[in-house]
Structure 1
Amino acid sequence: MIQFTTWDILRGLLLATRWTILLSLVSFAGGAIVGAILLFLRIGKRKAGRIAVEYFVELFQGTPLLMQLFLAFFGLGLFGIDVPAWLAAGAALTLWSSAFLTEIWRGCVEAVAKGQWEASASLGMGYIQQMRYVILPQALRIAVPPTVGFSVQVVKGTALTSIIGFVELSKAGTVITNATFQPFTVYGFVALIYFALCWPLSKSSQILERKLNVAHRGH
C-alpha cells in the first residue's frame, strides 16, 4: 500500500488551489464586464433593455448555481456539442456573477442622491455626461465594499464545479481522500485553504465598508 505523507496531501491540494484561484479570477472579471454592460441596460432609458436584464437577473438569481452548471455542461451535449468542464464552469460562473453584480451596482447607482442628477442636469449635462462625471464616481465608491464581499461568494462557488468534473480544490480533496483514506486530514486542509482565500477578502470588505461609513459621517 502506498504511504502518503502530510506534505504529499498538502502539496496536491495546493496544486489544485491554483485552478480554484484562476477560475475565481476569470469568473469575477468576466462577471464584472458582463455586469457593467447589463447595468447600463438596466438603468438606461430603453424599456426593452431594462425588462430583458430584469428577467436575466431573476433567472440567474432565482435558480441554483448547481443547476446552471449542469445545463452549461450537459445542455449543449444534447445538441452534439462537447463542452470542456473548464469552459462550462467559467461560462456558468461568469453569468451567475454578472447577475448579482448587476444588482449590486444598480443599488449603488440608485443610492446616489437624486439631487446629484438634478444638479448635473441644471448644468446642461446629457445622460452620458451625468453618468460619467457625476453619478458613476460616487456609485463606484459605494460599490467597492459589496463588490469585494461578493468575490468571496465566487471563490466558494467554484467548489460546485467539481460536480461536472472540473478539478479544483474540493474535487482534488475528494480524489486525494479516495487515495489516502484520510478524510479528516484532507478536508481539514481543504477548509483551511478556503479560509485562507476567503478571509482576507471578507476582512477587506469590512474595512472598506467601515471607512466608507466614516467618510459619510465626516460629510
Structure 2
Amino acid sequence: MYEFDWSVVLDPQLWLQAMFVTTAYAVVTTLVGLALGVVLGLVLVSRIPVLGLIVRLYIHVFRCTPLLVQIVWFFYALPMMTGFTMPDWFAAGLGLTLYMAAFAAEIFRGGVISIEKGQWEASTVLGFSYATKMRHIILPQATRRMIPPIVNQAILQLKNTSLLSVVAMPDIMYAAGALTMSTFRPLEVYTFAALLYLVILTPVTLLANRFELKH
C-alpha cells in the first residue's frame, strides 16, 4: 500500500515563486493575445481580401499545430534562424501570446457575425458609418456573446502555461518536476500542483460567471 507523505510539498518559497510566474504569464499573454486578436478579428470582418487571407493562414497554422511545438520553436529555432537573440522570458511567452491571438480572432469574428443581419441593414438605412455602426450597435451586443468563449479560452491559457516547463521557465509544473526529481514523490507533488491551479482558477471562474449573468 502506498503511503502518502505530504511533507515533501512544504516549500512555500518554491510554490509562491512558481505561482507568480504562472499567473504573470497567463495574465500578460491573455491580455496581449486578446488585443491582437481584436485587431485580427477586425481584419476578418472587414473583408479586405489580401489581409484577410494572411490572417486566415495565420489562424489556421496556430490553431492546427501543437502549442508545445510552437513554444519550442520560438524558444530555440527562431533565434537560430533570424540571428536575433530574444530574452528567454520573451521567447517563451511569444508562442502563448500568438496562440491566444489566433483563438481570440475567431471568437471576435464569431461574435460579430452572430449579430442578426437586420441590425446591420437597419443601421445602414439610418446612415451610420461603418465605425459608428460597429461601436454603438454591433460590438456592444457581440461583446456579451464573446464573454463565455473568452473566459473559457483564458482558463485554457492559464493551463497552457504548464508547457513553459519544457523551456525551463520556473512555473508551477517546472517546480513540480524539480521537486519530484529530488523527492521521488510524484503523486503528492503533482496532486498539490493541481490544487494550486484550482486555487488560481476557481475565483476567476466564479467572477466571470457572475459578470456573465449580469450582462
Q: TM-score, normalised by structure 2?
A: 0.89
Task: Choose the corresponding residue for 1:148, options 138, 147, 151.
Answer: 151
Task: Choose the corresponding residue for 1:193, options 190, 196, 209.
Answer: 196
Where in structure 2 are the equivalents of 1:11-26 lying within 5 Å? Answer: 11-26=13-28
Task: Choose the corresponding residue for 1:68, options 67, 70, 73.
Answer: 70
Deviates more, 1:78-87 or 1:139-148: 78-87
Deviates more, 1:94-103 or 1:68-77: 68-77
Contact 2:74 2:94 in 1 (8 A): yes
Q: TM-score, normalised by structure 1?
A: 0.88
Q: What residue number does 2:174 align with?
A: 171
Question: Take 2:120 and 2:87, find their aligned partners in 1: how far apart are those partners?
Answer: 47
Tell me by how many angstroms 1:142 deviates: 0.9
Question: Take 1:200 and 1:193, find their aligned partners in 2: how far apart are those partners?
Answer: 12
Tell me by how many angstroms 1:8 deviates: 3.4
Q: What residue number does 1:117 align with?
A: 120
Identify if the C-alpha distance between structure 1 residues 7 and 159 changes in structure 2 by more than 3 Å, giving closer, same or farther: closer
Where in structure 2 are the equivalents of 1:78-117 lying within 5 Å? Answer: 78-79=80-81, 80-117=83-120
Q: Are residue 128 (structure 1) and residue 131 (structure 2) matched?
A: yes
Contact 1:149 1:205 in 2 (8 A): no
Which of structure 1's runs of 4+ aligned residues deviate more than 6 A?
none
Q: 1:175-197 CA deviation, whole Å, 9 max, x = no partner?
A: 11222332222111101011222
Task: Choose the corresponding residue for 2:52, options 46, 50, 53.
Answer: 50
Tell me by how many angstroms 1:132 deviates: 0.9
Question: Take 1:45 and 1:90, find their aligned partners in 2: how far apart are those partners?
Answer: 30
Letter in 2 for 1:141: R
Q: What residue number does 1:38 align with?
A: 40
Letter in 2 for 1:70: V
Q: 1:26-46 CA deviation, whole Å, 9 max, x = no partner?
A: 100110111011011111131
Aligned-partner SS, 2:181: helix
Q: Which runs of 5+ in 1 are unaligned?
A: none
Tell me by how many angstroms 1:81 deviates: 3.3
Contact 1:73 1:164 in 2 (8 A): yes
Q: 1:30-85 CA deviation, whole Å, 9 max, x = no partner?
A: 10111011011111131112111111110100100011011101112324433333
Aligned residues: 209
Question: Take 1:7 and 1:170, find their aligned partners in 2: how far apart are those partners?
Answer: 13
Question: Take 1:207 and 1:107, find their aligned partners in 2: how far apart are those partners?
Answer: 23
Q: What residue number does 1:157 align with?
A: 160
Aligned-partner SS, 1:25: helix
Question: Take 1:155 and 1:182, find their aligned partners in 2: how far apart are those partners?
Answer: 25
